[in-house]
Chains A and B, each alone.
Chain A
Amino acid sequence: KNEVEQSPQNLTAQEGEFITINCSYSVGISALHWLQQHPGGGIVSLFMLSSGKKKHGRLIATINIQEKHSSLHITASHPRDSAVYICAGLIQGAQKLVFGQGTRLTINP
């Protein structure tokens, strides 16, 4: 069993829909990292959060450290949001990330 689990693994939605991607972890982490990777592309950092909620444009990330759960939301989704979204936990006391398997998101026009 992975230490960081994402759901769903694949998600297809229509343009304009509200998207939620979930991340649960079983290890002690000090912060949670959300990353975006477009097909054939590099990896971009979206958020790093250790508590509460962060917002950037149409993207919102929340985390509940006690429940070991984080969510990434996309409002008014657009085809350009189609990508793989990866969550990764920064292990407490270490300088390393442990990664989820990623969620492949496809937004159809």
Chain B
Amino acid sequence: NAGVTQTPKFRVLKTGQSMTLLCAQDMNHEYMYWYRQDPGMGLRLIHYSVGEGTTAKGEVPDGYNVSRLKKQNFLLGLESAAPSQTSVYFCASRSGQVVNQPQHFGDGTRLSIL
């Protein structure tokens, strides 16, 4: 049971390059989330999805786009990477069938923008 899998685990980009981070979950969860974690800032929500084909903005959505074409996958895109997007990115998912279920997190993606 893999749980929540993020790819890649590490990436270095140059300013202006684009890339997509993939999050895959095998728990049939309805809700999926993308967060970024920066020193002293805690976890901040970028975008989230409450089901296949739906997405919504979180706390810090600027500079990012997302897609949820399949229930098990949630993609986070950076169209034109900026140094301010250097961070550790975490994906999470949780069931929408039962109230107050915990979120399950991936291992994170460390992204550096030069």
Binding site for B on A (CB under 8 A): 30-31, 33, 35, 41-45, 47-48, 50, 86, 88, 90, 95-97, 99-102
For B103, the chain A residues whose CB sits under 8 A away are 33, 45, 97
| Contact indicator B102/A86 (Cβ below 8 Å) | no
Does chain A have a CB within 8 A of B105?
A: yes
Does chain A have a CB within 8 A of B58?
A: yes
Q: Can you name 14 A-B pairs with beta carbons within 8 Å?
A: A33-B103, A41-B107, A43-B108, A48-B101, A48-B102, A86-B43, A95-B31, A95-B50, A95-B96, A96-B33, A96-B48, A99-B42, A101-B40, A101-B42
| Contact indicator A99/B100 (Cβ below 8 Å) | no
Q: Interface size of B by Cβ–Cβ distance < 8 Å?
A: 23
Q: Which 10 A-B pairs rank lowest in CB-CB distance, beginning with the nearest?
A: A42-B107, A48-B102, A43-B105, A31-B100, A45-B102, A99-B43, A101-B42, A99-B42, A50-B100, A95-B31
| Contact indicator A96/B100 (Cβ below 8 Å) | no
| Contact indicator B48/A95 (Cβ below 8 Å) | yes
How close is A9's CB to chain B, nearest CB, in angstroms?
Answer: 10
In the bound complex, what is the Cα–Cα distance between A30 and B107 (angstroms)? 26
Chain A residue nearest to B31 (CB atoms) is A95
Q: What 1/0 flags go to B41-52 for Cβ under 8 Å of A?
A: 011110010100
| Contact indicator B106/A48 (Cβ below 8 Å) | no
In the bound complex, what is the Cα–Cα distance between A97 and B94 (angstroms)? 12
